[in-house]
Amino acid sequence: MFGIKTCDKEQYNRHFLRDVVFTVHFKDNVACTTNRDKFISSLKDNYPTCHDGIAQDISVTLGNGKQGNSVIINNNNDSHQTILRTEDMMKEFVLRNNSLQYKESGHTYKGSQSFNTQLEKALQFLKFNGTEECKALSLRKVNIIDFKSNSNSDNSQQDIPTYGPAHELLSNKLLPTYESYNECNKYVVQNLQSLRLRDTDYNLEIKYGYLVGEKSENLDYVKGQVVLDLLLERIGNISIQNIDKELTNFHNILYDVFRWATTEKMLEILEKK
Task: Note the Cα 102 to chain centre separation in Å.
Answer: 11
pLDDT-based confidence at residue 199 (cuts at 50, 70, 90)? very high
Residue 155 pLDDT > 50, yes or no? no
- Residue 91, domain member (yes or no): no
Residue 10 pLDDT > 60, yes or no? yes
- Residue 142, domain member (yes or no): yes
Q: Which domain holds residue 189?
A: 1-27+131-273
- Residue 267, domain member (yes or no): yes
- Residue 116, domain member (yes or no): no
- Residue 67, domain member (yes or no): no
Domain tally, the chain: 1
Sheet strand arrangement including 17-26:
49-61, 70-85, 91-96, 99-105, 17-26, 133-150, 221-239, 202-215, 190-199
- Residue 40, domain member (yes or no): no
- Residue 110, domain member (yes or no): no
More confident residue, 131 or 5: 5
Residues 6+ apart with CB under 8 A from 235: 135, 136, 201, 203
Please say whether the beta carbons of 128 and 34 come within 8 A: no
- Residue 57, domain member (yes or no): no
Q: What is the pLDDT averaged over residues 40-52?
A: 93
pTM of the model: 0.86
H-state helical runs in 9-140: 36-43, 112-128
Question: What single DSSP character describes residue 158?
Answer: P
The whole-angstrom separation of Cα 213 and Cα 196 is 27
